[in-house]
Structure 1
Amino acid sequence: MKLLILCISLAVLRSSLGINPATEEEEWQEWKARYGKGYPTDEEDEDRRNVWLENYDYVAAHNALNDVTYKLELNKFADELSPAISYPDHEKVHEEILVKDKSAPKQFDWRKKGVVGAVKKPGSDGICGGLCCCRQVLTPYLQGLSEVLCLTSSVFTRPRLYLQLSPAISYPDHEKVHEEILVKDKSAPKQFDWRKKGVVGAVKNQGQMGYVEAFVAAECVESLHAIQTGRLYDLSAQEVEACCREFLQLPIENDVFGCIHKIGGLCTAATYKPSSQCSNTSCEPVAQTQGTKYVPANNEGALLEALLTVPVFVTVNASPQSFLMYKSGVYSDPQCTGGNLDHVLQLVGYGTDEEGNAYWICKNSWGEDWGMEGYVYIQRGVNRCGIAEDAKYPY
């Protein structure tokens, strides 16, 4: 009897929040027709339908909540489960891959080569020689903020400028404080959108081209060139993929804009003739960049400053199912944290909605039929989805 009651309760719950069993077949067929879905076997059709039903209930349950800042929809990804895979030891995996390359020893220390000088103390002017230079920046708002010029943890990358909080002082809301300083400056408005400047291209659909970094890199160079010249081109993502991979023979996300500079700039998507290898000699480049500038990691204040200069290449965690099913509003799923960064977006603006929810305006490459006509508003101020962990831009 208890089992019967449980089954009836579950059926009522699905009927109230999810699909009506009487119309399930009709809705399934309508959804497949809307997105041009078809499957080679009846078995796969049934498997996909079960996933679709699971997402149907998930979307309905979420949208029935009153305390959420965003809505979901049964979009073109509704027959897919998110590839949410956890890699708690991803750094170790990366190290293991490097160690397999004979050119990358298990440990390395330039000090043992006799090419690193003694640690120096800053003089009266707060500036010191050598590779690291520290200077206290004391303002009425941020006591203990250190400006540090240091080499990154990788010996293969250039020195980067970081703004770091003093380890002796805790600033739980340091991003908000930093943002407050920026907003007091007239050059940093409370909201900003590069789309209104006419320097952001149309939303693209990466389709089966899994190399999303190429799309976003091309889009960032498009925007930079438009800011500098007033001309907005549709640049070739396929050229970035083919030529930068061939040129560096390494994951190009580390210095993608430096690679674009080295290959002589980018051609338009219409003039570049894709092939199995880099073929940019057959077209004339129309946009160039000088290289890559890196945003200090986990610093949304610095990210905002960079954004006021040019749209930014940001790496995010897009693995939660809620991200795939996103429709509108300020995306604030607490399950979308940093660490597992598996997708790239073009950051083009920021703002605050009527309820006071701060957000970043991000352009995706999943087509205009996803999200807010191809865009997602990601919660700002809490490093949602790791948006501030790995950001860079061309110059």
Structure 2
Amino acid sequence: MKTWSREEPRPDGPGNRRPGQLQDRMHFAKHLLIFSMIVVCASAAHFLEQEWNLWKSNYEKTYATKEDEMFRRKAWEANWNKVQTHNQLAAQGLKSYTLEMNRFADMTSEERNSHNCLSTKGKIPPADAPQVRYGKPTNIPAEVDWRKSKCVTPVKDQGSYCGSCWAFATVGVIETHYCLEKGEQAILSEQQLVDCDSNNDGCCGGLPIMALAYLSQHGIMRNKDYEYSQKKFECLYENDNAIQMNVTKYYILPGEYNIASSVAYNGPVTVGIGVVDEFMLYKGGVYDGDCAPEANHAVIVVGYGNEPSEDEDEEDMDYWIIKNSWGAQWGDKGYAKIRRNVNKCNIGDMVATMDFTFA
């Protein structure tokens, strides 16, 4: 066995390292770790900066001051983290829908939760608006999608500054029924309702059932003659330019089974839903997330269907197809699927439509 003299260098084994060498190695490892963390953070910050600038460009976002942009950037980053986390769960099959960084992504949760355009305060549905009950549907189609009729008009955008969803939901239903009867699409005026329907509150909210009552008496102008402006102005309704309707009745539909029967037999209907901030970031899939305690937004049910489960131990998921008024860049080209037969977001509590023909 070889022995080592004091003059000969010893191997650099764990027990033979000099204190200075070991300390140098520890310092090097520490600095390497810190450097790696700096590189990772810088890379992440650079990536977010690119994403932020791309998002601003895509949605044509500009801000009045540097402070305002910094505030919006902070809200945007919080939403970015939320969307990434949620979509990772969706990729694992733990969520039935996905989210995206859409035009609402620079708003805070509080701002999105205050986005209310369905107002019931001080409003009583017309006395001659009865409830219609079809009974439990037993022989309606398994799925319905009125978009296939080519009579659902293009998705519109109510804008960020006018709570007029009630007008868009009402007009969208009228447009489809007009096309089904006349064989051609007509783009009709939401602005007429915003300006002229005194029973509703213009950009501060309203109820579709009240709007239907107004239209049954006055008819509706075309959008080209009365364009939407995202603000309430003086009423410019012209009877001579209005499409008149012969209304048999307008009515409320209580419960989801009544919605399904009416949609299957008659066409799209207006519904109220209770949305929260997460729904405003919806991208696709069947929404089964959180909801507001009561309806605060009006949309149109244009159909329904069923999403087969990938897991044999889980039930299939029924859904509604809704047409929204947040533009075609929101959701699935302006549409969404919401879970059906569980009264998700109180969708069965505030439903309205009417039976009518056009003069």
Per-residue CA deviations over 1:198-253 (Å, capped at 9, x if unaligned) read 22100001113321211111111111122222222101111122121279999453
Matched, 1:257 2:212: yes
Q: Give 2:250's aligned amino acid.
A: T
Per-residue CA deviations over 1:105-141 (Å, capped at 9, x if unaligned) read xxxxxxxxxxxxxxxxxxxxxxxxxxxxxxxxxxxxx
Q: Give 1:200's aligned amino acid.
A: V
Q: Which runs of 5+ in 2 are unaligned?
A: 1-32, 310-315
Q: In the alignment, what sits opposite 2:130?
A: 160
Q: In the alignment, what sits opposite 1:324?
A: 280
Q: In the alignment, what sits opposite 1:143?
A: none
Q: In the alignment, what sits opposite 2:154?
A: 202
Q: In the alignment, what sits opposite 2:83?
A: 59
| Structure number, greater radius of gyration | 2
8 Å CA contact 1:273, 1:282 repeated in 2:
no
The partner residue of 2:102 within 62, 70, 75 is 75
* 1:1-395 correspondence to structure 2 within 5 Å: 20-65=44-89, 66=92, 67-82=94-109, 83-84=112-113, 94=121, 157-158=127-128, 160-161=130-131, 178=136, 182=137, 184-185=138-139, 188-207=140-159, 208-245=161-198, 251-263=206-218, 265-272=219-226, 276-281=233-238, 284-286=241-243, 288=245, 290=247, 291-296=249-254, 299-308=255-264, 309-318=266-275, 320-333=276-289, 335-337=290-292, 339-355=293-309, 356-395=316-355
Q: Which runs of 5+ in 1 are unaligned?
A: 1-7, 99-153, 165-174
8 Å CA contact 2:321, 2:335 repeated in 1:
yes
- Are residues 86 and 43 of structure 1, via their aligned partners in 2, closer, same or farther at CA, if it must alter by over 3 Å? closer
CA drift of 1:390 comes to: 0.1
Q: Flag as ranges the 4+ runs of structure 1 deviating above 4 A.
A: 246-252
Identity in percent: 28
TM-score between the two structures when normalised by the length of structure 1: 0.68
Q: Which has the higher contact order (CA 8 A, sep 6+)?
A: 2
Per-residue CA deviations over 1:291-335 (Å, capped at 9, x if unaligned) read 521101xx11111011121210011112x22201100000110x2
- Are residues 246 and 302 of structure 1, via their aligned partners in 2, closer, same or farther at CA, if it must alter by over 3 Å? closer
Q: In the alignment, what sits opposite 1:133?
A: none
8 Å CA contact 2:209, 2:252 repeated in 1:
no
Separation in structure 2 between the aligned mates of residue 329 and residue 155 of structure 1, nearest angstrom: 34
8 Å CA contact 2:305, 2:318 repeated in 1:
yes
8 Å CA contact 2:253, 2:259 repeated in 1:
yes
The alignment's C-alpha RMSD in Å is 3.2
